[in-house]
Structure 1
Amino acid sequence: MTPRKRSDVRPLTPDTPIYPIGVAAKLLDVHPRTLRIYEDEGLISPDHKGKRRMFSENDITWVSCLRKVIHEQGISIPGLKKLLELAPCWDIAECPEEIHAVCPALIDRAAPRIMRLVGDARSERAARAAERQVGSIPSVKEKVGK
């Protein structure tokens, strides 16, 4: 067995998937099934190594923000999905400023999705439905500026 060269070792980044689902669940104090549900709902997308889900530090931070919104704000998963279509997640979850620069949700979130889908009637209906739901939750309504 030949020893590894120093150049073969890659530094860990916040995006490096290092936690299997069981460890991630323990770090977040949730059941692994909860993480599978979030994945099925499209709220998270952990890496897969073979058949194993692997989570990064950014994934852990994102799920922590999701849990905060779901439990402290009382927003359902379908409601949260609609809100995320309309606003950057940090406007809703109050994630720390330093997370914004590395947040996977930053990709193309500068403008709400509805603005990118001009002319799509289904999107307009979804936006109106989400606005009605946001309007019924005062603390979220204030955060998204409605």
Structure 2
Amino acid sequence: PLSFSIESKDLKRVGLDYIDDLRWFYYPTYEDFKKKHPDVSIYYITRYASLSYSQADFSNLVKDIYVMFGRESTGIPHGILREHLDACLRIPMVPEARSLNVSNCVAILVYEILRQQNFPNLATIEMIKGEDFLINEKYEK
């Protein structure tokens, strides 16, 4: 269940110009998702895991990878975590912190997955000003 409206103008605002390019699906419950995708790899991000996300192998390009994030306040339900202890991952953080911002956690995991897959379909050079931007004197002011 979502704690926000997927129809709201706020969702469109935060999605900028990219929201229309997304292909997304909504599942009312975790069980509905599992029924639709019985053979996928799901990783569960929780501060209670002992395995760091950087120790997981995301390099398989053939199998779909899903990552579940919980609310900052309550996390992923305990029962789901207990069922999948071997797939629970932790993002290391300072001991005094209760949690990290969920959007930051998503960015960390997405880029780790992409890094392990050699950044498929992503530009690895500067595309707007050119790859010589740092050495080109015409950009000096």
Task: Indicate whether the TM-score tops 0.5.
Answer: no
Into which bin does the TM-score normalised by the smaller protein fall? Answer: under 0.3
Higher Rg: 2
Pick 1 or 2: higher relative contact order, CA cutoff 8 A, min separation 6. 2
What TM-score results when the alignment is normalised by the length of structure 1? Answer: 0.23
What TM-score results when the alignment is normalised by the length of structure 2? Answer: 0.23
